[in-house]
Amino acid sequence: MNSTLEFNDSSITVALVGCGGFIGSHLLRAIFERTGWRVFGVDLDSYRIQEHLANPRFEFLSADLADPEVVKRIAQYPVVVNLAAICTPGRYMAESAEVIRSNYDHPRALADACAQSGSWLIHFSTSEIYGKTAANSGALVEDESEIVFGPVAASRWSYATAKLLTERYLAGLDGLHWTVVRPFNFVGPFMDFMPGVDGDGIPRVLANFSTALVRGETLKLVNGGVAKRCFTSVHDAVDFMFCLFAAGECAFSQAFNVGNAANEVSIAELAQLMRSVYAAIKGVHENEVSGVEVISGEEYYGKGYDDSLRRMPSVEKAERLVGFKAKIPLKTALEESLTWFAHHYG
Ligand code: UGA
């Protein structure tokens, strides 16, 4: 790969694995809007990206990384972004083996192919690799924080274990140009699914609370909703990717937290904020929208559920090395997401 990626260079093709997912669909649109690049996109699902299927700059392949021929094809391109993952905690317990295959075996095969071809592999990992953080843990620092997972019986950690092993594999693979992205609870339109409509099981908290609000059901606060997260707009996440593309070689062999530390809330506070945003969208009083109810993690998700109590990123490295700082406040991100959700599914 050249040391820099010129945004107006129409000879560049970027491979996007998982281009039809929540983050992938936003990144795909932004690449078409902000650059002259072509995209080779791979996904099993294309419902979020229908508007691009006829774009002459886009080649879409309905496939996944389980196919070695597909892996070989992807690795022909100079920049490969891998966003494919099973990343809903509802599945980590009952489908641990499949979660590990999808989050370790498949990315590992892609890394091997990129090491051979010389492609720059930008791998989406997770903030969950920081593990079982305590309520009083401080900011999580990419190259410093200690990592503790729960016991094997706490199968919640199957996903984080696979993701961390993938990170270690990339870092140890001779000749690979790699960058790791650790997302901190990205939110925005098209996140996850509405259970029973376009997916089954339990989506992540934004889609779950949005579903409850639209259906007039109670919002479930797992273990009282005391866990804290730093929710980050997907538009900030996309901006980070352009900072990364511009940084090129300077970002090789680095893992980056991508998050908005200013947006930290407990899940109980998130529920309250979403109730008030939804009431404003509907033009009704807050008392007229769904209330909350406390439920245990095991009752809600099943045996083996465990949690990180605080997940707050250090954002210093992304700012220092690639010049990125998240800007979008939580309320703005929730207004956009809930307006979209109510319109899309309402
Ligand atoms: C998940 C994934 O496991 C991570 O890999 C991913 O990076 C992260 O989402 C993300 O979106 O970035 P987590 O933050 O635990 O991790 O995801 P959620 O399922 O959205 O849960 C957040 C918190 O809300 C947890 O404490 C959970 O117990 C709670 N929750 C969730 C509720 O109280 N009610 C719900 O209906 C859903």
Q: What is the block-wise mean pLDDT of the chain (346 residues), using blocks of 10 residues?
A: 82 98 98 98 96 98 96 98 90 92 96 98 98 97 96 94 98 98 98 94 96 98 98 98 97 98 98 98 97 97 95 98 98 98 94
Pick the catalytic residue from 77, 130, 159, 305: 159
**Number of the ligand 1 atom closest to the C-alpha atom of 208:** 36
DSSP string, 66-94: TSHHHHHHHTTSSEEEE------GGGTTT
Is 159 noted as a catalytic residue in this protein? Answer: yes
Contacts of 210 (CB under 8 A, 6+ apart): 194, 274, 337, 338, 341, 342, 345
Substitution candidate for ligand 1 out of 26, 96, 158, 185 with most atoms within 8 A of CB: 185
pLDDT of residue 1: 62
pLDDT of residue 87: 84
pLDDT of residue 86: 87
3 state SS of 323: coil
Give CA–CA dist 19/170, Å, rounded.
21
Q: Shortest CA distance to 304 belongs to which of 129, 154, 168?
A: 154
DSSP string, 191-210: -S--BTTTB-S---HHHHHH
Give CA–CA dist 60/24, Å, rounded.
13
8 Å CB contact between 231 and 331: no
pLDDT of residue 4: 73
Tell how far the Cα of 205 is from the centroid of ligand 1, in angstroms.
Answer: 5
Ligand 1, pocket residues at CB < 6 Å: 87, 89, 126-128, 159, 183-186, 204-205, 208, 220-222, 225, 227, 229, 267, 307
Give CA–CA dist 135/146, Å, rounded.
15
Substitution candidate for ligand 1 out of 22, 164, 205, 305 with most atoms within 8 A of CB: 205
| pTM (2 d.p.) | 0.97
pLDDT of residue 90: 85
Tell how far the Cα of 322 is from the centroid of ligand 1, in angstroms.
Answer: 27
pLDDT of residue 89: 85
Specify the DSSP class assigned to residue 49: G
pLDDT of residue 2: 55
